[in-house]
Structure 1
Amino acid sequence: MVDTNDLSTTVLKARIALLATAIGGPDYSSNLDPPPYKLGDDCLACLKDLKRWFRLVDENQNRWDVAIAAAEYRILQDDLIPILIDWENKCSLAHKLNKDSHNKEYHENIALLCVQLMVIMTCPQTLTDQSTARQVAVYSELKKRQLEYKRNILLTERGKVLKAIVRLASKVIKIDKLDRTPRDNVVLRLIINLFRNVVAIEPGELNITKKKQISTKGINSIDTLPAGVSMDDISLNTVIAAFQRNKVLALVLTLASSMSVEFEQDFINTPLMELMFYLTKDIPPESLVGSGKRQESNNDGDQVSSTGAALLNLLDKENNLKKNVIKNTSTRHSRFGALLSIQTPDAGRLTVSGGGQNLLDDSAALKKLDSRKKWNKRSVQHRDDIVAEGLPNSLLNSGAKSGFSLDSTMIKFVHFIDDFIDSSFNALLYSVTNQYTGDQDQMTTLEQTEYLLFFSWFVKYHREKCVKDLAADIGCVDSALQETSFILVSTILRTGYESKNWAAVHAGMIAFNELLLLVRSIKDPYNSDEVEFIIEKLFSDDRIQLLANLPKTAFRYSLQYMKSCVELIHTVLETLEQYTKDNSLTVTKKTKSTKRNTITEEQVTSLMDSQGIGRDEALDLLNPSFRKIKFDFMKVLKKFCVESIIDTYINYLQRFRELNDTEIKKAIYFLHRVFVQASEQSILFRLDLIMLLKDMLAPDGISKKSRVRKHIEQFSNYFLYKLKKRLKSSPSWHIGLLFPLLYGSEVGYFQKYGEVKPHKGNTYYAAPPSRFKNIEDQEQLPESVLKDMKCGILVSTLIDDGKEELLLNLVSHMQLALDHFKSWLTVNLQHERETENLPDELFRIENFDGPNPLIFDKDYRALLSLIGYSLPLNIEEQCKLPGSVEIDFLQDSLELVKKHLATPFQTPNGLPSSSYLVRPKSTVSALNAEDDGWQGDDDYDYDEPGIVPDGQQLFVTDDDAYFEGLEKGMGDKLSGKDVDKGIAKSKKPKAKTKKTRKQKDNYSLPLHDIGEKPEKIKQRKDILSKDFISDSEEEEGDINPLFFENEMYMRWLLDKYRGQLPEERYALFGKFSAERIANNGSLQNDYSALFGGPVPDLEVLRNSETTSDSPDKTLISLSRRVAAEFGKASEEQEHQSTHETDLSDSEVSMDDIPANTSNTGAGSSPSTKRPEIDPSSLEDDNGGEYANLSRKKRRVVLADDEDDD
């Protein structure tokens, strides 16, 4: 309350009291009851004086003393409202009598001054960082007074004062636009501001500031509703009814629809936008869609007031509490005290008092014990201020979604919203967007949030309406797709994040999400330049990085903030995946200036004449600065696979009781993306996630009737299945679950992938061994039977690939090692040294034609690992059989290999043995990407649109490779080729197998497929985006066929020297290659020392070996390496060819070239440190053929990290 001892306040109140008396009052001399209002003799002057007091004290001195004094003397209720109502009655009567009222201009000036004072007195007051202590002291009282103002404006004579205000506006509208004065435009702005203030007045706070923490006892602990005012008096129902009854809504439509034609839009656009925002912010858009038809059939008996609805909610809450009490206390000890005691191993004793649930459930008693424990971890300070929490409840209505309690009011409001969208939304949004774009630096946080939420509400409403009403036109919200709208929304989001303005970030996430959903809802987006612009800009690296940063800190803030963040990330990933899945999205990449080709003046002139273009355009066409590349969705997804984002989703799901099914699905869907699609399993192996899944699937967790529970069970089963495998293969993960992942170290890499981190150097790492898919009833089979089956699968696969020689070498070495071990053990026993370890037996394969199978044959390495061999990790290490292996185990393994060599292995599924194997890629990103044959319950029966389609499955097996093999074999037979068959080719007749499931590609996630089916998606034309600029990938262009021929020479040399090409011949071959390239295939020097005789003929080489149809780039760097040196030596002897290949245009480092070594023997370990060809980088699907990755491997980049100008 105001301090009455303050002299200045007392004097001020006396002045305001005199003005209130002089303005006027009831005319008690009249015989009417109640007595009419009579204006004072100096009414106009008194109103002007009161306006001056507001400006002098409240505005200039940052005090609200005049507002409090005016409220105490009830100037608005007892003076301003009666004056306007009396003026409205007189004007209405004069209009009916068709004559002018007495002193018309004088009374209009008084009415206008009343409106000005009402705008000042109803302006929503907020506490800011600059608020004075005086304002903080009177804030609560002033908010209550404004609620009284709102009630009187809406209910006095059924809101007749609103009709008087509309009459003032209509007098201005009647004036022609060219004849209106600036004062007339200000009057319209003033009237709209008054309507906005009336709607914006609320019991709760409406401020975005940290000042909330000041004097919270005086602000938050007092009842916000004044005496005599109920929520029904100031509810949205009352506002809409009064506005409809007094033609306020019609006035809004008139002004908004003709804003750019009949009115000066700079005066009224922002107030109109704010008015529409406050009218709609508390109503979920989906609750209005189709409500007109639905509500017409409802009975009037179903209509309840907001008070009645609140009572029903309380009754439901009481009923649930009763059920919970009965459930947790239904024992014989419920009404008596109880004491549970647990004795600890150190003779201590833990006690829990109280019966009830503690006696029903052991976990409840233990949880109560844990709750009393204290630990010294530094507590994280909770962010309770509104700025850190995001949008306040009064702006976002996050506390409880309010709606209409009367059907008639809802129907009227829906008609108004539809008319507004059809006639006014595009014009209003376009005008406001242009204004804010020019004055963006001056936008306050409140203006930013009002704009963004207004934008998102109407876009969402119309998008939902278009889904349910096929006749609705999406073009009614076209202005939301304009470039200026997209840029403004994106800019507010970015600047808010950079300045840590979380309220603006929160609103920006909501608006950006709705914008993307609108883009996705358009059936043919490529017919719109605006949509194409948004799609192009969406894929820029800066914007994707911003979107990836948003969820990293979201777990620190409110639940509503996290909801908006989860919704946005879900929509972003779905949008990116939708266009990537069609293979229709290409982006452009900026090329290096150093790679530009030489352009002659004749070429430029010819192109200018033929195309009719300028010189600059011709130069761009001849030497383009951009090139097309394919968009890489997985690279974007990896940006979201970080620990802080996982923290956000886990914190979000921990509040699953406050989330609906759709929100839970989207969060689980993201975890599924990370775990399965991105193969970042280690980042989810966390104890808190395990406990979260346990709580969600507990009896008191998500209801068993909920349709989302099956999704969680599906994910949980697969998650625990993979975790069990990881714990079995790497027991250290029992400790790793308790701690965060290690980053930037070899230990962290090994913890994440279970393999030693590779380093770039002169040695190349071995191929990862093949892995086994899930075998039927694997968990129930004994270890010996399971080992027999795995050994049979591998031996049979190697025989099918014609590698019996490798198996015979293995049997010979195992037999030799077994004899050595037995003899060594016998000698040690004789000398009583049986505890000494046996020596390791080295295993080498001599005279093998091709890459070293100990390094590069994935199936062979898997068999060695199964037997117990220590596998080499790179070409410099050696394969050995450790002396620590059990002799009995080795003997059994030897017998199994011999058995399957002699007897064909019969697979349980009747398919080739290779169908049980997965050949992992050699790249680091794919080390974790394995198809383990998970056979869980994958079927879903959810039919919610946009979430999870029915009948789709998650974890599937791959049998496509088998059928592709059959087609290949049939093609060989038809062409007359002989097809070799191994012993293991004889199989049982194909038995009737279970229905297999088709494996999805890396971008398909059937568990939570949130989009339309691929076959129903229209083919989209390529989109070019110049926002993705990168220089990490060289231009490839057409490769000179001489490179291909040089490769055949290199293979011939490697075969001749059994994979060990000496250093001097290696350098000589580089000179040989460079000379052929420089002279277009001809030679001028003698290279008999290189080939040990004359140079082999190319036709002989082509007939003697099968090579790829396209050239490989293995020797590009090698040729270039000695090109400069060779050029100096031959510069004086040779005439340079006019058709010269520019080697610098194709410069690629040896570390980046995937080698094509189909028949090379690069498995050897050279003693020198020269670059080595790496066959381990090849993806071998059949264990015997190495594919040419120069045609397959593509590096897709999104940004230009280091552009060379």
Structure 2
Amino acid sequence: MDLFTTVQGTVAAIGSIDYSQKDEPYVLSEDALTCLKDIKRWLRLIDEKYDTFEVRYVLAKLCLVKKDLFSILSSWDGNFRNPKSWRIALGCLEILVPLTWPLETDENTSRENWEMLPNLKQAQEDYKTLIIDHPKNRVIKSILAVLLRPLSTSYEKRTDRDNGIIRIITYLFRNLSRIDEIKSRSETLLSFSSSHILDFIVTACSSIAEFQELDVVFLEIIYYLIRGIAPKVIFTSEESAKNQLNKLLQDELRSKRINSKNSTTRHTRFGTMTSIVSSDNRRYTVTGQNMQGTGLEKLDSTKKYRRAKRKKNNVDDIDKSVQISADAKTVLRGFVTTFMDSSFNPLFESLLRAMEREEPRFLEIHRLYYFYVQSFFLECLILKDPVKSGVYSNDYAYGLVASVLDPRALIMLQRVLREAFELRQWPLFQAGLLAFTKVITTIHSMSLSSEKEFQDIADNMLSNLFYEESNLELVVSVLKSYRLQSFGFLNALTEFVTVLLKELELFSSAKQYLYVKRRRKKQNREKSNLDIVEEEKLEIEQADTIEQDRLFSFNAYEARFCHEACVNTFLTFLYHYRELSPVQILRVITFFHRIFVRQKCQVLLYRLDILRLFDRISDDYVGFPRSNPARQEFEAFYRYYAKKLTDNLMRVPALYTELLFPKISGTMYYLQHGEDPAKDNHVSRRGALYELVPGLTYEQQIAVCVAVLINEQKTELLDELKTSIGIAMNERKAWEQRILALNTEAPPDDEFRDPLAVPVFYLKGETEAFRNAQLKDEFQEPIDPRHPEDPWFLPSSITYEKLSEYSQLLKRFTEQPPVFEGTTAEALLIKKPRGHVRLPSPDNSEDSDSEDENNEFEPDDPITFANRKQTLKLKPVKRRREISEEELVKRKEQKENKEKEKKSAIKSSKFVVDSDDDPEADAAFFAAEEELRRRNALRGKTNNISTAITGTDFSLLDSYSLDNASSDEMNDETLGLSRKRSRVSKIIVDESDEE
């Protein structure tokens, strides 16, 4: 006997419709519960154990769900205090859960499963339709009635079996929300609302401590209910909905105009026919009424450019747009509002703990769900409350989403983004980008709040977000690495970059100093000390990089986006300008403005494809009409772009050729300015500044400086300095005499910078060594870095007499070197760092450690340095190395194996409720068995029939190799077969009685 015949007999033994009665009710057999248990065991021992779809495929062909299970559930009165009827309803759900479980496939899926997959998907869609569209929601109400029995028991008194019942019914809700979730979204929301399933989700999530193992299941249900629905659609008024409908109608009309612009009509075949023969004797023929004027243009328009096929990544766009009805919007709006008020923080705190601890129930896919749902509710926080009037319109209840704004949650978000980027998990990375964008937007809104507490919290959070330079570098790397991901990924990426740059610019401009933690490679130094212990050796080998705080420059960071790959990413996004909203188009124009105008990397946008795209957009008044709010901004940028391009083409004719090719960094300056950059003859790195110990007289200061130069054997620099001062004395004396002759007053110091007014006096040397010393050995930082000679400028206050006095002192100390008692000249000089390039270090002096080991520096900006006690100390860390392709594949395989183990454990939970664990059901079963044996003994026919059936059923088990199953499973199977034999015996006996 094959599997189909065996399952068919069991299904037929559950019950059938009684056509003899007027209302044709569904009548259960006495062994209906036993039949349901047998079907559940077959699903577990065949489908789950051998990873096949055969049993559920047979059940779909036999219409078990439609004819039997739904008939049983819809006819039940919902009285869960009746143990027999409640147990039969639970048996139906134990079968319904695995039948609606998501059908998972991979590269190891068998051919038979692939063949059965379409039919099973259609069967699951039919199951869902029958459940949510059933009259008066009788099926869902019966499901909830089964759930009420374990829920009515207090949390402390619930058994494992009660928790298992709650778990499988929650999985059933998850399955229903996932099946055909795009097409039937509105029906699912309305059915869940009318049957109070949404209320159950809100209540369970608000007290998630009682349902901690089900937090990921609730997350999945919410994800499939909101996926693809924009929050602004939910919270729009009826008038906005009408405006949206009018916009859709206008878009449809515009698309028709675009399609009909170049379409042919029945009149285009009349007119002139033109044929052109190419050099290879190929003939091209076009016809039309205007062929004499535009024949060649029409011929060119008929040519098709066959681009080389590129392998596209099969990336699932997690943000596909879904349209729902007005009633479903109302339901979802109420659910979102209620969920945020009482359930959002408890659920996401539980999920965050599970993700941090890597709990077995928290799979890899749940991280994607977590960040997507987080971004959805963060956007709903701003939209669900009406905008208040007045200056401060950003006063929202930010405490409702405190769980995802916690530092632990932000650290987890940044970590997941880095891991997803390294492992090329683009759907997860897209969800992380969406969440990060909404987090920054929420923090920005919080910083504009009228409450000072929220402003301080937002300032601190932004400081912590921007403190890690690796996070900022990740943004540039991702923008450069975009290739063939989905359009939703491209939209999320461009939005994230735009929001991050805007917020980072505002935050850095509001701070006098902004520091970021930077990792740099430690310089290799020779290990001369042979007495180092083994632990110190190991520490030196591992600590090849150090962390150091450095001053952040937004202009320098923005310049890193001046790259060909970054421009290509935004250009790819702009190619879809007909489908983009005005906000999305302005996003691209803003980025190009940063590159072209602010960073002045104009040559980077001088490309033929960019020029052609701008020209096509400008001429396309159908796809990009004048009524579009972004049209004016685009035209203004295009005019400026064209003007600059024209000027550069006239000044640099070589740019005509360079329009066709990518730009090289070495030639970009020449193409933009028409000349090579001026070479800097100064040393590449300027030395430290010096200052003298306070309390010295001016004569003593000169003596210290001369003594240091003599000790360093730099007497030639002193000789050249005396010569330079002598030349300055002669120029100063001649100028003073000219001033006296003209009877005029000396101009102020700043007028000396004008060479047309008065001569400028600088101390200049003849040799390269003297010019390098001027840059390396200074006592004053130049005001303008572009003028390093500023400290050697002679103001008008220094007269000829003072210069003569200085020359005499220099000559005297050179001929008679000064001697210092009790100290040296070098000890009277103190080094100090230049400007604010780096943080002050406690190691500035040689004896700083011995004097004060616990020296604490007060930061310039307490908000920037919040919660960082060791900002001034260098901390060794391990090197962050690039991941090779082999290691990437190995890590992915390890993660997939780990996920499979977790999934197998989760799958087994849908069979956690065993029928044999119910004492009430067992008592009723044994009583029925005793009555059946008594009746069969009277008939005297049971033994022969049972013997005939025994061999067939065991041969069926042998065909599926069930003899290798565990002892417990075989005992359960044997028990089921004995029940089935007695059940079939009863049916045959009844038939013989009728005869």
| TM exceeding 0.5 | yes
Counterpart AA for 2:639: N
Give the secondary structure class of the aligned counterpart of 1:25. strand
Q: Tell me the SS of whatever aligns to 1:658.
A: coil
State yes or no: 1:169 paired with 2:147.
Answer: yes
Change (3 A) 1:131 1:381: same
Residue in 1 that maps onto 2:539: none
CA contact (8 A) 2:608 2:659 kept: yes
Residue 331 of structure 1, CA deviation: 9.4
Structure 2 residue 197 is matched with structure 1 residue 248: yes
Residue 711 of structure 1 deviates from its aligned partner by: 1.2
| Residues 216 and 361, structure 2, Cα contact 8 Å, conserved in 1 | no
CA displacement, residues 851-878 of structure 1 (integer Å, 9 cap, x when unaligned): x9xxxxxxxxxxxxxxxxxxxxxxxxxx
Measured in 2, the distance between the counterparts of 1:290 and 1:1141 equals 73
Any idea what SS the aligned residue of 1:656 has?
Answer: coil
Give the Cα–Cα distance (whole angstroms) in 1 for the partners of residues 795 and 434 of structure 2.
67
Secondary structure of the residue aligned to 2:827 is coil
Residue pair 2:205, 2:347 contacting (<8 A) in 1 also = yes
1:1066 and 1:237 map into 2 onto residues whose CA distance is 78
- Tell me, yes or no, if the aligned pair for 2:444 and 2:458 is still in contact at 8 Å: no
Q: Which amino acid is 2:637 matched to?
A: F
- Is the CA contact (8 Å cut-off) linking 1:463 and 1:474 kept in structure 2? no
- Work out the CA distance in 2 between the residues paired with 1:112 and 1:24: 16
Q: Is the 8 A contact 2:354 2:362 kept in 1?
A: no
SS of the residue corresponding to residue 706 of structure 1 reads: coil
Give the C-alpha shift of residue 688 in structure 1.
0.7
Q: Which amino acid aligns with 1:496?
A: A
- Match for 1:264 among 211, 217, 234? 211
Change in Cα spacing, 1:1064 to 1:664, as seen in structure 2 (3 Å) is closer
413, 418, 428: which one aligns with 1:489: 413
Aligned-residue offset at 1:382 = 3.4
Does residue 355 of the first structure (1) align with residue 295 of the second (2)?
A: no
8 Å CA contact 1:695, 1:701 repeated in 2: no
Question: Which of 575, 587, 594 does residue 666 from structure 1 map onto?
Answer: 587
Mapped contact 1:449–1:504 kept (Cα < 8 A): yes
Contact 1:285 1:461 in 2 (8 A): yes
Q: How far apart are residue 1203 of structure 1 and its match? A: 7.9
* 1:500 and 2:424 correspond: yes
Describe how 1:695-844 pairs up with structure 2 within 5 A: 695-699=616-620, 700-743=622-665, 746-747=666-667, 750-751=670-671, 754-757=674-677
With the length of structure 1 as denominator, give the TM-score of the two structures: 0.54
CA contact (8 A) 1:727 1:733 kept: yes
Displacement after TM superposition at 1:418 (Å): 0.8
Deviation of residue 193 (structure 1)?
1.4
Letter in 2 for 1:32: K
The corresponding residue for 2:399 is 475
User: 2:518 matched to 1:572?
Assistant: no
> Which ranges in structure 2 are unaligned for 5 or more consecutive residues?
524-545, 686-725, 732-743, 781-793, 804-809, 836-870, 878-995
2-side partners of 1:579 and 1:122: how far apart?
51
Q: How many aligned positions are there?
A: 732
What residue in structure 1 maps to residue 2 of structure 2?
Answer: 11
Residues in 2 aligned to 1:762 and 1:981: alpha-carbon distance in whole angstroms = 21
In the alignment, structure 1 residue 556 sits paired with structure 2 residue 484: yes
Of 377, 385, 399, 2:314 maps to 385
1:514-553 superposed matches below 5 A: 514-522=438-446, 523-524=448-449, 527=455, 529=457, 532-553=460-481
Which residue pairs with 1:59 in the alignment?
Answer: 48
1:1062 positional shift: 5.8
Counterparts of 1:541 and 1:90, CA distance in 2:
60
Cα distance in 2 between the residues matched to 1:126 and 1:356: 58
**Distance apart, 1:320 and its partner CA:** 5.8
In the alignment, residue 144 of structure 1 is paired with which amino acid?
Q
Correspondence for 1:678 = 599
Name the CA shift for 1:694/1:473 in 2 (closer, same or farther; >3 Å). same
Matches within 5 A, 1:331-480: 334-336=268-270, 338-341=272-275, 351-355=284-288, 365=298, 367-368=300-301, 370-371=303-304, 379-386=308-315, 391-392=316-317, 395-397=318-320, 400-404=321-325, 407-439=326-358, 444-466=363-385, 468=387, 473-480=397-404
Identical columns (%): 23
Aligned partners of 1:490 and 1:1066: how far apart in 2?
48
CA distance in 1, matches of 2:728, 2:102: 86
Residues 1:402 and 1:357: Cα distance change in structure 2 (over 3 Å): farther
Matched, 1:91 2:79: yes
SS at match of 2:322: coil
CA distance change for structure 1 residues 709 and 848 in 2, over 3 Å: closer, same or farther?
Answer: farther
What does 1:201-240 align with in structure 2 at a 5 Å threshold?
A: 201-202=179-180, 235-240=184-189
Partners of 1:264 and 1:1141 lie apart in 2 by 72
Deviations 1:1137-1187 (A, max 9, x none): 599346565599xxxxxxxxxxxxxxxxxxxxxxxxxxxxxxxxxxxxxxx
User: Secondary structure of the residue that 2:511 maps to in structure 1?
Assistant: coil
What is the CA–CA distance in structure 1 between the aligned matches of 2:421 and 2:156, rounded to whole Å? 45
Shift of 1:492: 2.2
**Contact 1:481–1:530, Cα closer than 8 Å, also in 2:** no
Please state if 1:651 is matched with 2:575.
no
CA distance in 1: counterparts of 2:309 and 2:798, whole angstroms: 71
For residue 264 of structure 1, give the secondary structure of its aligned residue in structure 2: helix
Q: Give the secondary-structure state (helix, strand or coil) at the position aligned to 1:683.
A: helix
Q: 2:177 aligns with which of 199, 206, 209?
A: 199
User: In the alignment, which residue of structure 2 is the partner of 1:770?
Assistant: none
- Segments of structure 1 that go 5 or more residues without pairing to the other structure are 1-9, 93-99, 205-230, 304-308, 596-624, 766-846, 853-971, 986-1050, 1078-1097, 1108-1118, 1120-1125, 1149-1198
Instruction: Choose the corresponding residue for 2:219, options 258, 273, 295.
Output: 273
Instruction: State which of 81, 100, 108 in structure 2 corresponds to 1:122.
Output: 100
Once the two structures are TM-superposed, the CA of residue 199 in structure 1 deviates from its matched residue by: 1.4
Contact 2:586 2:633 in 1 (8 A): yes
Distance of 1:16 and 1:760 partners within structure 2: 88
For residues 97-136 of structure 1, what are the structure 2 equivalents within 5 Å?
Answer: 104-136=82-114
Given that 1:686 and 1:738 are in contact with CA atoms closer than 8 Å, whether structure 2 keeps it comes out as yes
Inter-partner Cα distance in structure 1 for 2:25 and 2:872: 77
Residue identity in the other structure for 2:441: L
Displacement of 1:639? 2.0
Matches within 5 A, 1:1146-1161: 1146=833
Amino acid at match of 1:19: T
Q: Do the aligned residues in 2 keep the contact of 1:465 with 1:472 (CA within 8 Å)?
A: no
Contact 2:60 2:123 in 1 (8 A): yes
1:445–1:503 contact (8 Å) kept in structure 2: no
Query: What is the aligned-residue RMSD (CA, Å)?
Result: 4.8
The equivalent residue for 2:18 is 27
Q: Which residue of 2 aligns with 1:691?
A: 612
Q: 1:151 to 1:314 in 2, by over 3 A?
A: farther
Which residue identity is paired with 1:694?
Answer: D
- What's the offset of the Cα at 1:67? 1.4
Residue from 1, 15, 36 that aligns with 1:47: 36
Deviation, structure 1 residue 506: 1.7
The CA deviation at 1:186 is 2.3
Asked if the contact 2:516/2:552 (under 8 Å) is kept, the reply is no
| Residue correspondence of structure 1 range 854-933 to structure 2 within 5 A | none
1:582 to 500, 507, 510: 510
Residue 238 of structure 1, CA deviation:
1.7
* Kept after mapping to 2: 8 A contact 1:282/1:403: no
For 1:593 and 1:666, locate their aligned partners in 2 and report how far apart those are by CA, in whole Å.
36
C-alpha displacement of 1:347: 12
Q: How has the CA–CA distance of structure 1 residues 528 and 157 changed in structure 2, closer, same or farther, with 3 Å as cutoff?
A: farther
Q: Distance in 2 between matches of 1:156 and 1:1105?
A: 108
Structure 2: distance between partners of 1:982 and 1:1138: 39
1:49-92 CA-to-partner distances (Å, cap 9, x unmatched) read 211211222222221111111111111112222222233x1518
Residues in 1 aligned to 2:559 and 2:309: alpha-carbon distance in whole angstroms: 29
Q: Is the 8 A contact 1:200 1:278 kept in 2?
A: yes
CA distance in 2, matches of 1:277, 1:539: 32
Q: Is the 1:163–1:247 contact (alpha carbons within 8 Å) kept by the matching residues of 2?
A: no
Report the 3-state secondary structure (helix = DSSP H, G, I; strand = E; otherwise coil) of the residue aligned with 1:340: strand
**343 and 37 in structure 1: CA distance in 2 versus 1, 3 angstrom threshold:** closer
What secondary structure sits across from 2:133 in the alignment? helix
For the residue of structure 2 that corresponds to 1:254, the secondary structure is helix
Q: Matches of 1:748 and 1:1067 in 2, distance apart?
A: 30
